[in-house]
Amino acid sequence: MRIKVDARLAPLPAAGLSLGLVLGLAAVAAQAAPAAGGAVHTIYAAGDIARCKHPDPRWSGAAATAGLVEWALRADRHATVLTLGDHTYPNGTAREFADCYGPTWGRFRERTWPTPGNHEYNTPGARPYFDYFGARAGRGYYSLRLGGWHLISLNSNLKGAEHTAQLAWLRQELGKDPVRCTLAFWHHPLYTSGGHLGPGRMADAWELLHRAGAELVLSGHDHDYERFAPQDAHGRLDRERGLRQFAVGTGGAYATPFLRIRDNSEVREASFDGVLRLRLLDGGYEWEFLAAEPERIPAGARLDRGSGSCH
């Protein structure tokens, strides 16, 4: 299922932001504008977002990260949001989407392309997730194009015949209209140093993407930020053809610690809620992790940033 991008932005309030966050967001917005000629497509991504048991939703982690994304979207009205699953806690119910996700990240639902997490499936069939995102949820997996990039959303909750059908679709999708640069995103990371020690799910999908020369995989699930060096589906370093994985479970729910550092893990951060900004270029990409509470970053310190080339 291939979907046309809709770049509309609904009006968003900016109430409840700290002075430090406002100043930090202004800096983010100043850097977010696309290059002349429209060659750059900017993405803001995170998962594990709205915890409904927070005592005051106006000051929750989800509200802080939503404020960061809001300012960035106002600076670049063509930017896109990817959500990496576990949109609400604990059970992905319709009420949680209405009361917890809706007032925060739901404010830019029309700019969002999602993938489901395991908490959505605490409600049978993840029905509220599919109802909330409608056509943008596809059948749990779908693809879209952003310039010269092919974006593929997969459902890491599927098993048995459903997952087999998803893999058959992925093979077919990767064979259509070949492009140089490909990004895939799903909820459960294949590699992690966090609480869900792996190897995780989707090694078979990773193998197909690796053979096709894809560049990036984004995931959530562990409530931290972690960047890996390019790897194959067996955890072997492959700087020439491997996929670089970002785990970005920092959307605002709550932080969890790293337990055992995995091979090829290059950067880890579990102190800040935040989002990953990706700038998709013609033949390459740039990344930066943006903290939702920049006033907490020690003076002179910089969070993760870098760049890479497509295969």
Structure tokens at 141: 């997996």
Q: What percent of the chain has pLDDT over 90?
A: 73
Alpha-carbon gap, residue 225 to 223, rounded angstroms: 7
Question: Could you tell me the maximum CA-CA distance found in the chain, to the nearest angstrom?
Answer: 52
* Residue 187 reports pLDDT greater than 80: yes
Residue 21, pLDDT score: 47
Q: How confident is the model at residue 173 (pLDDT cuts 50, 70, 90)?
A: very high
Residues sharing a CB contact under 8 Å with residue 156, sequence separation 6 or more, in sequence order: 85, 115, 186, 187, 188, 201, 202, 219
* Residue 11 reports pLDDT greater than 60: no
Alpha-carbon gap, residue 212 to 217, rounded angstroms: 13
* 120-146: pLDDT as tens digits: 999 999 999 999 999 999 999 999 999
Q: Which of 40-44, 155-159, 268-272, 304-308 is predicted with the least confidence, judged by mean pLDDT?
A: 268-272
Residue 294, pLDDT score: 76
Residue 58, pLDDT score: 62
Residue 299, pLDDT score: 67
Residue 195, pLDDT score: 80
**Cβ proximity of 191 and 56 under 8 Å:** no
Averaged pLDDT of the chain: 87
Structure tokens at 150: 């092919």
Residue 110, pLDDT score: 96
Q: Which of 10-24, 39-53, 265-279 is predicted with the least confidence, judged by mean pLDDT?
A: 10-24
Residue 278, pLDDT score: 98
Residue 56, pLDDT score: 66
CA distances from 205 to 41, 179, 260, 286 (A): 25, 18, 24, 24
Residue 54, pLDDT score: 67
Structure tokens at 273: 């809620």
* Residue 302 reports pLDDT greater than 70: yes
Q: What percent of the chain has pLDDT over 70?
A: 84
**Cβ proximity of 143 and 152 under 8 Å:** yes
Helix (H, G, I), strand (E, B) or coil at 140: coil
Q: Where are the domains of the chain?
A: 35-309
Parallel, antiparallel, or unpaired: how do β-strands 41-46 and 80-83 relate? parallel
**What single DSSP character describes residue 2?**
B
**Cβ proximity of 114 and 137 under 8 Å:** yes
Q: How confident is the model at residue 30 (pLDDT cuts 50, 70, 90)?
A: very low
| Over residues 283-295, mean pLDDT | 91
Alpha-carbon gap, residue 102 to 210, rounded angstroms: 36
Parallel, antiparallel, or unpaired: how do β-strands 284-291 and 274-281 relate? antiparallel
* Residue 37 reports pLDDT greater than 60: no
Alpha-carbon gap, residue 83 to 219, rounded angstroms: 9
Alpha-carbon gap, residue 62 to 70, rounded angstroms: 12
Phi, psi of 121 (to 5 degrees): -85, 0
Work out the number of other CB atoms within 10 angstroms of the CB of residue 26: 11
CATH fold group of domain 35-309 = Purple Acid Phosphatase; chain A, domain 2 (3.60.21)
Phi, psi of 134 (to 5 degrees): 60, -135
Structure tokens at 235: 């955890």
Helix (H) or strand (E) holding 275: strand 274-281
* 227-245: pLDDT as tens digits: 999 999 999 999 999 999 9
* Residue 31 reports pLDDT greater than 70: no
Phi, psi of 174 (to 5 degrees): -70, -20
* 65-108: pLDDT as tens digits: 999 999 999 999 899 999 999 999 999 999 999 999 999 999 99
Rounded to the nearest 5 percent, the helix, strand and coil shares of the chain are 30, 25, 45
Alpha-carbon gap, residue 45 to 287, rounded angstroms: 11
> Phi/psi zone of residue 92: left (φ > 0), alpha (ψ -120 to 50 degrees), beta?
left
Q: How confident is the model at residue 286 (pLDDT cuts 50, 70, 90)?
A: very high
| Over residues 250-275, mean pLDDT | 93
| Over residues 285-308, mean pLDDT | 85
* Residue 202 reports pLDDT greater than 50: yes
Alpha-carbon gap, residue 169 to 138, rounded angstroms: 13
